[in-house]
Structures are given as structure tokens and as C-alpha cells.
Amino acid sequence: MNKVSKSKNVTSIAIKLNSVFVRKLFSKFLWIDIFLILFLIGYWCIDLEINFYGEFLLNAKRTFIFFPIESSTYTVVFDNGKTMIKDASSYLYIIQRVVNSIAIIEGIFLLKEIIFGTMKIRRTLKPLDEIAQTASRLSNMTFDEEKFQNLEEAISKISPVISDERIYTGDSELHGLEEAINNLLERMRDSYKQQARFVSDASHELRTPISVIQGYANMLDRWGKNDESVLNESIEAIKSESENMKNLVEQLLFLARGINGKTQINSKEFLLNDMMNEVLEESKMIDEKHIYEYYSSEEIIVQGDIGLLKQAARILIENAAKYTEENEVIMLKTGINEKGEPYLSIQDNGIGMDEKDIPHIFERFFRADTARVRKNGGTGLGLSIAKWIVDGHKGYFSVLSRKGIGTRITIFLPVSSINF
């Protein structure tokens, strides 16, 4: 089927769809007009009766003569024999003019749809028409042995790790298939790069505590057997580095389980304020070097995994404490924004971050200030874990930071997580 016949088919379908739409629109306008006329007449009649008799009686006898309009009257005989006769011609003429004006506007809308509706539907159907044409071309494509061989050779020459290599056969009929394969290769290469970087970073992070432990073990072997100071120093260092390595491995396992779907989010209803109060008391008990404050304007009941969300809040607080001087305030806050989304935020008066670093803070092993983190500890995985938790709750982060002023990180949960 050639393009001309296909175009005619699309036009024919568009005309049929538009005619159905115009008929439905005309029917809607007609019913609206009928309802409007009945409403206006009914309201006028009820108002006349109330003004004449003082109330509206359902069992009164009513007669409305519509035609001819110039002689139309409305007659009501009440239970006590009292009769009301009102001329309705002037009011019906007013209704007629109102309905005529509305009918003109409706007619313009109908005419617009009749003239331009088919074109609009054609534009809407254009992507479907293109898909149909592509499918038709693919169904009529002749895959001879040479085409298969060329495609196979092009694929065999491609390396999944070299980013600038792409499949190209020079055959226009295979262009769409080439693009699909090349896009798949790009995603595979990106995944490979992320995996390679993750393995490299994890190896680097594990190498440091292992080297420290090995160094102190050698020192113990040489001098620690007889020197108590060397013995105590080595034991403390080995304990500290073992704890760091344990935390790193646990965080790596948490991320691995999360990626593989083995960490389940057990959602239940809880009070966000209570959770933040618990985190506040824990922080005050663990860290006496900073001042912790919590503000909330209202009680917020949300649906989520309280354990995981509490873990995310702790991660943000630990980060804030690392980058904040002693006796400075770290502020916790909960609330609901103008979109109706519940949130919790952690704000510090620390060293802040460069604007260029903010988009990368949730990447694994990323450190905005390596020297400072090395001094205070940290694996560079905490914010990655927090992001996995928030993503699992279909929430998102907002980060506001200024160098030398401080940082505020806010977790927004979806509106649907609020239980009204």
C-alpha cells in the first residue's frame, strides 16, 4: 500500500472520528439547552408563587400555556380557591433571546470542530500512522543471507566496553535495528562503567583499613610483645579500623540487597513527629558536642517504613555533625509543603558545599571534602543508602547549601503517604 492510499485511509478515519465527536458535542449542547430552559421556567414559576401566595404548594393546580408565545400564561389554583394568572410572554421572549445567544456560541464551537477537528485528529493519529508505516516496511523487508551476514559481522566487531564503537552496516533498511542495538549498547556500557567504578571504589575503601591493620599487626609482631604502649596503640587502631571496615561492608551489603530487591520496604502508618523526636533524643545522647533542636508546626501521620526512614534521617544528621563545628546548632524540622507533601529536613551551620558538588553527593563514595571526611570518618556510602530508601518510598531530596554558611537537606515524601 503506497503513501497516498495510507494518507487517504488516515483522513477517512479522522473524518469518521470527528463526525462522531461532533454528534456527541451537539447532543451535549442540546441537553444543556433543554435543562437551562426548564430551570429558568421552573425558577420563574416558583418565584411567582412564593411572591403571590407566600409559599410554594406542591398540590396546587398549575397550567402553563406556551403557544402562541404572545398569548402564553401561567395559571395556579391554590387549595383555598385563590387563583394566580400571570402573563408569561415577556419572560419567554427573554429566555428565547438567551437561548438563541447560547445557540449561536454553540454553533460556532460546532462549526470550528467540523472545519478543524479532522485536522486535529489527523495530527493526533500521525505518530500511530508512522508506527503503522514502519511496521509495514519491516514486514515487507527482505532479509536475505547477505543482510544477516553483514549484521552479524557488524555485531561481532563491537566491544561492549569501548564507548565510541557503534554498529553500522550502511543498509538503510537496517537503520532502525542498528539504532536500537546501539542504544542498548550505550546502556550496557554505562552499567559496566558504574559497576567498574563501584568495584574500584570499594576496593580502594577496603584497602585503607586492611593496610592499617596489617601495619599495626607487623608492628605488634616486631615490638608489641614486650612494649605495652605499642601493644595498646596497636589494639586500639586495629579495633577502630575493624569497626570502619565492618561498617563499610554492612553498607555495601545493604546497597547490594536493595539493588537485588532483597531489602523489603514494610510500610505502615506512623507519626512522623514521633519518629523525629526519637532521632532527636538519640542524637543528643550520642553526640554531646552539638546542639540539636526540633521544630514542627503540626502532627503528620504518614505511611512508610519507619525503620528505613529513621535510618535515612540518622544518615543526614551524622553528615551534618561531621561538617559542623562543636557547640553549633543542628536543626531538625517536619512539616507539609504547599503541594501537600510531608517532609523532614536537617539543617546545619557547617562548612557547606560548592554548587558543583551538590549533584554528586548521592553517588557512591563521593566526597565533597575528602580530607575532612577522612579526619571524621565515613565511607561515602551513607547518602547513597539514604537515596535508595527515599527512592523506595517514591520521595525525593531537596539540597540547599552555601560554602561557609551551611547545608539543609530535605526529604519529601509523596502526598499519597499522608493518611487523612
Question: In this predicted model, what pLDDT tens digit does every residue of 286-316 receive, in sequence order?
Answer: 888 999 999 988 889 999 988 889 889 988 9
**Size of the chain in residues:** 420
d(C-alpha 251, C-alpha 243), whole Å = 12
Do 409 and 362 sit in the same domain of this protein?
A: yes
With a cut of 50, say whether residue 371 has pLDDT above it: no
With a cut of 80, say whether residue 376 has pLDDT above it: no
Do 245 and 303 sit in the same domain of this protein?
A: no
Range of the structural domain that residue 63 is part of? 3-140
For the segment 104-110, the average pLDDT, to the nearest whole number, is 85
d(C-alpha 281, C-alpha 300), whole Å = 19
Do 287 and 361 sit in the same domain of this protein?
A: yes
Go through 260-292 and write b for each residue having 16 or more CB atoms within 10 A of its CB, e for each that does not. eeebeeeeeebebbebbeebbeebeeebeebeb
* pLDDT > 70 fraction of the chain, expressed in percent and rounded: 74
If one counts every other C-beta atom within 10 angstroms of the C-beta of residue 312, the result is: 27
Q: What is the pLDDT of residue 231?
A: 77
DSSP state of 170: -
Q: Which amino acid, residue 321?
A: A
Q: Is 145 helix (H, G, I), strand (E, B) or coil?
A: helix
Task: Tell me the pLDDT of the chain averaged across its residues.
Answer: 78
Do 298 and 310 sit in the same domain of this protein?
A: yes
Q: What is the pLDDT of residue 203?
A: 67
For the segment 133-140, the average pLDDT, to the nearest whole number, is 62
Do 358 and 380 sit in the same domain of this protein?
A: yes
For the segment 93-115, the average pLDDT, to the nearest whole number, is 84
Q: What is the pLDDT of residue 198?
A: 65
Do 248 and 155 sit in the same domain of this protein?
A: yes
Task: Record the pTM.
Answer: 0.49
Do 243 and 297 sit in the same domain of this protein?
A: no
Go through 348-366 and write b for each residue having 16 or more CB atoms within 10 A of its CB, e for each that does not. bbbbbbeeebeeebbbbbb
Q: What is the pLDDT of residue 336?
A: 92
DSSP state of 400: E
Overall number of domains in the chain: 3
List the CATH number of the domain containing 279: 3.30.565.10
Show Cβ contacts of residue 193 under 8 Å, excluding neighbours closer than 6 positions. none
Do 206 and 309 sit in the same domain of this protein?
A: no
Do 127 and 150 sit in the same domain of this protein?
A: no
Tell which of 90, 118, 140 closes a domain. 140
List the CATH number of the domain containing 252: 1.10.287.130
Do 169 and 185 sit in the same domain of this protein?
A: yes
Tell which of 116, 140, 164 closes a domain. 140
Read off the pLDDT of residues 155-214 as tens digits, 9 standing for 90 and up. 776 766 666 677 766 666 666 777 777 777 777 777 777 666 666 666 656 676 777 778
Which is it for the CA torsion 402, 407, 408, 411, positive or negative?
A: positive
Do 13 and 135 sit in the same domain of this protein?
A: yes
Do 164 and 127 sit in the same domain of this protein?
A: no
Tell which of 263, 282, 306 closes a domain. 263
Range in 186-195, 231-240, 289-298, 318-327 the model is least confident about:
186-195
Confidence label for 420 from pLDDT (cuts 50, 70 and 90): very low
For the segment 392-401, the average pLDDT, to the nearest whole number, is 92
If one counts every other C-beta atom within 10 angstroms of the C-beta of residue 203, the result is: 9
